[in-house]
Structure 1
Amino acid sequence: MPVLAGAEPFTHTGTGQTGVLLCHGFTGSPQSMRPWGEYLAGLGHSVRCPRLPGHGTSWPELNRTTWQDWYGCVRAELLDLRESCPTVFVFGLSMGGTLSLRLAQEFGEQIAGLVLVNPSVTTLRRDAKLLPVLGRVLPSVPAISNDIAKADAKELAYDRTPVRAAASLAQLWRLVRADLAKVTQPLLLFRSRVDHVVEPVNARIVLDGVRSVETAEVLLEHSFHVATLDNDAPLIFRRSGEFVAEQVGSR
């Protein structure tokens, strides 16, 4: 299936030995991570941002995939990036944060640190429990995309949310929540004070559940959910770059 213009994956080979894997969000695409990736590339890091299966094409295509497909994609990218970079960080937005946490749970010390932006591990929506049933009769519901405060910014994402895929995401949430204690890497978490997609309880569950000795939470005052394209993007980029430099220095 043709990939939407702008939704293509991107890679950059850096001048140093540090790599960063970027994981985009549910129904989104690498477009939401490209400015962040370009900033990190400018610091000399190798950068990978894959297009998750079913994303960047059409929402019916996403309904034909599961969380195992999305996780298999980022897992393969991580293994490939580690072939050329002895030090690798994983950064994720929204569901990309969920996938980042799962990678941290599996790979442990092989990941040097995590940077998460509005990560999701649950939802307070009452109808979420009905997703497995709804998915049998209802292909999609209204979109959750493009939650951005900045007037001239737009996320390249689907205009519908595929229900079967959302039900699979909920399965991944349960697995990640159950294994949060396996996350021990240094963790930097950005949370938008106003987020119309992911509730604040998600950040609290993550920060309370991980066993990382070093954690930090940064509140984003001027951005909504897709903060990597929003007003606080420069803050995210700068602080994440400093985080990588600090962790590399300490190693």
Structure 2
Amino acid sequence: MDPEKTAPFELGRGEDACLLLHGFTGSPWDVRPLGEALAARGLYVRAIQLPGHGSTPDALLRVSHRDWWQAASQALLSLRDYRRTFVAGLSMGALLSLRLAADFPERVHGLALVAPALRFKGPHMWLLKRLRHYGLLERVKPWVLKTGTDLSDPAVLAEAPILPAFPSARLQDMWELQDEVMRSLHRVRCPALVAVAEQDHVVDPAGGPVLVRGLTASAHVRFISLKDGFHIIPRDKGGPLLSSEVGHFFDRLREAEASPASPELSPPRPAAG
């Protein structure tokens, strides 16, 4: 992977901040267009590179979900001097974002959960999760090869940094994160936007409504379903609409600070995609 493309970044300036978290085997490159859009709206944006990501497949042998969680929580705490802090995560990054909101409710003022990896797509992955405690996957197939990433735009796909393989053992970490998030959803109190891609080939978009229903303590929940683009929504054809929706959602939360009333919980509703 090109280290210049996959490097962490910081953009913009302002009294409010947004932490951006990329997905499993991805990098900050995947979320940069969203970061640029939020910075243009007056937010300071910080996108970190999660441990073991953005370099070589072997780097993922030396990390686990605990390392990803530690990096995410430290990054959030580094933004303690800002007036308000928002967190936006893609795929696995959305799972980490939810855990941050559950464990640090006083520090996370709003969430954008993009293509949340609550469930993988297809019966094969469902079966593997059910058999995970037997260690069969790691013995039979220690590495999972990757030939591309889930983008519909051929021009963007041609320039995408792609990790060629990852250790199958890291799927155990993903499944653990999924379970942890489901156990902690009831502790998330901040407003949240959940965005899925209808044509996602990596995660099941039906996991979006599951999250919405599970966020019972959240002050306000908005759900959007994008018709254009695949899993890496910020870089794909649905990216501009996503950036507009997330930016508007965070703007409303920033403006609402002046009002004592909190918005009511709203039911899932699709946005025009």
Question: What TM-score results when the alignment is normalised by the length of structure 1?
Answer: 0.93
Determine the structure 2 residue equivalent to 1:8: 7
Distance apart, 1:225 and its partner CA: 0.5
Task: State which drifts further: 214-223 or 203-212.
Answer: 203-212
Distance (Å, rounded) in 2 between the aligned partners of 1:102 and 1:221: 28
The residue matched to 1:69 in structure 2 has which SS? helix
What percentage of residue pairs aligned between the two structures are identical?
33
Task: State which drifts further: 3-12 or 42-51.
Answer: 3-12
What does residue range 116-131 of structure 1 map to in structure 2 within 5 Å? Answer: 116-123=113-120, 125=125, 126-131=127-132
- Out of 181, 187, 194, which is 2:186 matched to? 181
Distance (Å, rounded) in 1 between the aligned partners of 2:153 and 2:252: 30
**Contact map agreement 1:66 1:169 (CA 8 A) in 2:** no
1:85-144 CA distance string (max 9 Å, x none): 120000000000000001011011321100011101233521233445122553211338
Determine the structure 1 residue equivalent to 2:43: 45
Distance (Å, rounded) in 2 between the aligned partners of 1:219 and 1:122: 16
Task: State which drifts further: 2-11 or 145-154.
Answer: 2-11
**Contact map agreement 1:139 1:163 (CA 8 A) in 2:** yes
**Contact map agreement 1:29 1:157 (CA 8 A) in 2:** no
Distance apart, 1:185 and its partner CA: 1.0
- Out of 248, 254, 272, which is 1:248 matched to? 254
Determine the structure 1 residue equivalent to 2:86: 89
Distance (Å, rounded) in 1 between the aligned partners of 2:187 and 2:143: 34
Distance (Å, rounded) in 2 between the aligned partners of 1:108 and 1:223: 32
**Contact map agreement 1:63 1:162 (CA 8 A) in 2:** yes
1:146-199 CA distance string (max 9 Å, x none): 111112112323122321111111111111111111112111111111110001
Distance apart, 1:32 and its partner CA: 0.4
The residue matched to 1:225 in structure 2 has which SS? coil
Determine the structure 2 residue equivalent to 1:226: 232
Determine the structure 1 residue equivalent to 2:173: 168
Distance apart, 1:221 and its partner CA: 0.6
Distance apart, 1:216 and its partner CA: 1.0
Distance (Å, rounded) in 2 between the aligned partners of 1:158 and 1:129: 26
Query: Unaligned stretches of 5+ in structure 1?
Result: none
Distance (Å, rounded) in 2 between the aligned partners of 1:37 and 1:71: 21
Distance (Å, rounded) in 2 between the aligned partners of 1:179 and 1:56: 28
Q: CA RMSD in A?
A: 1.7
The residue matched to 2:144 in structure 1 has which SS? strand
Determine the structure 2 residue equivalent to 1:20: 18
Distance (Å, rounded) in 2 between the aligned partners of 1:200 and 1:44: 31
Query: Unaligned stretches of 5+ in structure 2?
Result: 258-273
Letter in 2 for 1:55: H
Distance apart, 1:242 and its partner CA: 0.9
Paired residue total: 248
Task: State which drifts further: 49-58 or 198-207.
Answer: 198-207
1:40-70 CA distance string (max 9 Å, x none): 1122211110000000011221122101101
Question: What TM-score results when the alignment is normalised by the length of structure 2?
Answer: 0.86
**Contact map agreement 2:89 2:96 (CA 8 A) in 1:** yes
Letter in 2 for 1:139: P
Runs of 4 or more, structure 1, over 6 Å off, are none
Which has the greater radius of gyration? 2
**Contact map agreement 2:18 2:44 (CA 8 A) in 1:** yes
The residue matched to 2:63 in structure 1 has which SS? coil
**Contact map agreement 1:97 1:119 (CA 8 A) in 2:** yes
Q: Does 1:192 align with 2:193?
A: no
Letter in 2 for 1:225: H
What does residue range 141-160 of structure 1 map to in structure 2 within 5 Å? Answer: 141-143=144-146, 146-154=149-157, 155-160=160-165
Cα separation, partners in 2 of 1:113 and 1:145, compared to 1, 3 Å? farther
Letter in 1 for 2:91: S
